[in-house]
Amino acid sequence: MTWIPWNTQLRELAKQCQYLEALTLYRQMLRCGSSPNAFSFPFALKSSASLPLPLSGQQLHCQVIKSGCSQEPFVLTSLISMYCKFSSLGNARKVFGENPISNQLTVCYNALISGYALNSRVFDVIALFYRMREMGVSVNSVTMLGLVPVFSEPGYISVGMCFHCCCVKLGLNLDFSVANCLVTMYVKCGAIEFGRNLFDEMPKKGLITWNAMISGYAQNGLAADVLELYRKMETAGVCPDAVTFVGVLSSCANLGAVSVGHEVEQRIESSRLGLNPFLNNALINMYARCGNLVKARAIFDGMPVKSVVSWTAIIGGYGMHGYGEIAVELFDEMIKSGIRPDGAAFVSVLCACSHAGLTEKGLEYFSEMKMKHRLQPGPEHYSCVVDLLGRAGRLNEALELIKSMQVKPDGAVWGALLGACKIHRNVEMAELAFERVIEFEPTNIGYYVLLSNIYSEADNLEGVLKVRVMMRERKLKKDPGFSYVEYKGRVHLFLAGDRSHPQKKEIYRMVDELEALVKKLAGCKDNEERRNKEALLGMGVHSEKLAIVFGLLNSEPGTEIVVIKNLRMCEDCRLFFKGVSKIVTRQLVVRDATRFHHFRDGHCSCKDYCTKIDFILKLRNLLEACGVPVQLGGCKCNNMCSNAVWIPENETGSRERADDQPAID
């Protein structure tokens, strides 16, 4: 058998990514007495690099030298690429430097530049490019495609812009692939405006171009821009693929745009992509975050193969809706099925335990994470546990946990402690947490508002003034509260006291009528409901009220209404929603900044713990005044009395607590 058929077979196997079969065929070729040549080695070297098999690669390198093919350009580039994929950059540079022909070949420079970029050697990439220019070696589009991606981090945006200028000077910006690469670089750096300008200037836009811009918007949290661009893509007649759908679905999840998400699901089914696991995971996340947990669970149950990402999505969905017990059951079921949990899965289950009050269960999972699953907790896990302990009133334990962290605590960790101090009105510890958190996030307005509220509840006007002065000096302004509801595929946005909507007269008339009915309903109840009435008397027209009334005016009787709010829901509005749900006999769902609240028949999914927190704190103060030894956030009886005294139990025995930060529109 001659070498031509062998090379043909090697090429086909390597092209089909059957690398092990390609190396097996190569060995068979040697046993048959056929000698490899310059057309054989590139496929064998590529296969060895892709598996990866460093020892086989070195053996192939020896055969290249023996066969006299080391000066062949395609063999040289294959050797350089192979060593770079092995992260053996010293050997790659040695192959490049020992062959005089390499200094004159663009393909050899391109191979080494791509290898340096693959291993994130930014300065080596820049130095090699300048040497390439000094040697007079021509630069082509492949050079830029290997070089530009290494600058796709915010710290290298200025260098990336310099190479963009270089592309313009060389005329390479007109190359379709280079333009796509530059758009991707800008959006990954967070320079969305530069990316969009380049995108708009491109005379020709392919699927990759649209996907780059859509993914960039999605990764930077610009969900509304994603949907706007998706509509333009459809108008342009470009057929979306799985990458497009993932970006659009994540944006639907952020916005709560369930009708658009449902439309995308239909497109997925018609495109025969229904079995794509990435799309199914995105659909689970989208429906869960849009309030349709039943649909999310149906998609999850219908998946033939469930990865850890699938389990994490559904566990996080149940946790966000307050169904911590189900989330825990699913997590245990995942482990029993043989799926090894990762860091993201533990974040989901720890958050679920925190929202449902499953303190001991959450601490058990945190311990298992380290001891049983050998996973090193990150700041995101510690912030969940701090929140877990803080909501349970165990503030000292939360602070000790932060001090014992094996990684440096970040803003989220200290922010969780600050939120817990708000619940339990611990001013001293709140000041400590605030000092730490603004070191990491000095412009996060939410922490300033939180500390101001803590001072206000403690009647510390000097502290409130101090926070306001800090905000003024740092030119910080509180984000306005807004809520929106989707109707007939369109999102209707409302601000607090908003009077810009075309139906403003009908909306405000119905708000007044419902407030009167809710107050009347509260007035005919017992003493606890009378306290609710007193809270209702001070209510203003917050954005979620306007959104829910718009939904009531424009939807069919009995239809569930889902409202999305950018801040946490205040207690007054929660009382209003409870009453309205009983009056109109509908399920009302509000997704605020932290979780979902389901209102039905006058009840809230938080089991009414929010209305009892003031009573609990007053009881604790009374016990202290009577000489009962009460610790910060707990009693010296090790919380044996907590079930009966100040952390109410629900039917399943879990402890329910209020959200840690009320929001004021």
Whether the pTM exceeds 0.75: the reply is yes
With 0-12 / 13-18 / 19 or more C-beta atoms within 10 angstroms meaning exposed / middle / buried, residue 307 is middle
With 0-12 / 13-18 / 19 or more C-beta atoms within 10 angstroms meaning exposed / middle / buried, residue 305 is exposed
Comparing 37 with 534, the larger pLDDT belongs to 37
Q: Which of 168-177, 469-478, 491-500, 616-625 has the lowest mean pLDDT?
A: 616-625
How far apart are the C-alpha atoms of 620 and 152, rounded to whole Å? 54
What is the average pLDDT across 80-103?
93
What is the average pLDDT across 145-167?
93
* Mean pLDDT of all residues belonging to the chain: 86
Q: Which of 120-129, 158-167, 381-390, 620-629 has the lowest mean pLDDT?
A: 620-629
Name the band, by pLDDT with cuts 50, 70 and 90, for residue 629.
low
pLDDT of the residue at 623: 54
Q: Find the Cα–Cα–Cα–Cα dihedral 639, 321, 661, 599, rounded to 10°.
A: -100
Nearest C-alpha neighbor of 660 from the set 590, 594, 612 = 594
pLDDT digits (tens, 9 = 90+) for 105-139: 999 999 999 999 999 999 999 999 999 999 999 99
What is the average pLDDT across 311-319?
96
**Is 80 exceeded by the pLDDT of residue 47?**
yes
Q: Which of 24-28, 101-105, 181-185, 654-658 has the lowest mean pLDDT?
A: 654-658
What is the average pLDDT across 461-466?
94
**Is 90 exceeded by the pLDDT of residue 617?**
no
**Is 80 exceeded by the pLDDT of residue 522?**
no
Q: Which residues lie closer than 8 Å to 125 by C-beta, 6 or more apart?
A: 113, 116, 117, 147, 150
Q: Which H or E run includes 224?
A: helix 223-235
pLDDT of the residue at 269: 93
pLDDT digits (tens, 9 = 90+) for 342-355: 999 999 999 999 98
**Is 60 exceeded by the pLDDT of residue 78?**
yes
Name the band, by pLDDT with cuts 50, 70 and 90, for residue 33.
confident
**Is 80 exceeded by the pLDDT of residue 526?**
no
pLDDT of the residue at 638: 33
**Is 80 exceeded by the pLDDT of residue 607?**
no
pLDDT digits (tens, 9 = 90+) for 391-439: 899 999 999 999 999 899 999 999 999 999 998 989 999 999 999 999 9
pLDDT of the residue at 411: 94
Number of C-beta neighbours around residue 169 at 10 A: 9
Phi, psi of 37 (to 5 degrees): -130, -170
pLDDT digits (tens, 9 = 90+) for 200-252: 999 989 999 999 999 999 999 899 899 999 999 999 999 999 999 999 999 99
pLDDT of the residue at 233: 96
Instruction: Tell me the one-letter amino acid at 410.
Output: D
What is the average pLDDT across 531-539?
42
Q: Which residues lie closer than 8 Å to 29 by C-beta, 6 or more apart?
A: 3, 6, 10, 36, 40
**Architecture category of domain 379-478 in CATH:** Alpha Horseshoe (1.25)
Structural domain boundaries of the chain?
379-478, 483-520+540-614
The residues with which 492 forms a beta bridge, in sequence order, are 485
Q: Which of 160-174, 208-222, 489-503 has the lowest mean pLDDT?
A: 489-503
Q: Is the separation of the CB atoms in 427 and 458 below 8 Å?
A: yes
**Is 90 exceeded by the pLDDT of residue 35?**
no
pLDDT of the residue at 451: 94
Going by the DSSP 8-state scheme, the letter that residue 481 receives in this structure is P
Q: 214-227 burial, b if ≥16 CB within 10 A, otherwise e? A: bbbbbebebbebbb
pLDDT of the residue at 151: 94
With 0-12 / 13-18 / 19 or more C-beta atoms within 10 angstroms meaning exposed / middle / buried, residue 279 is buried
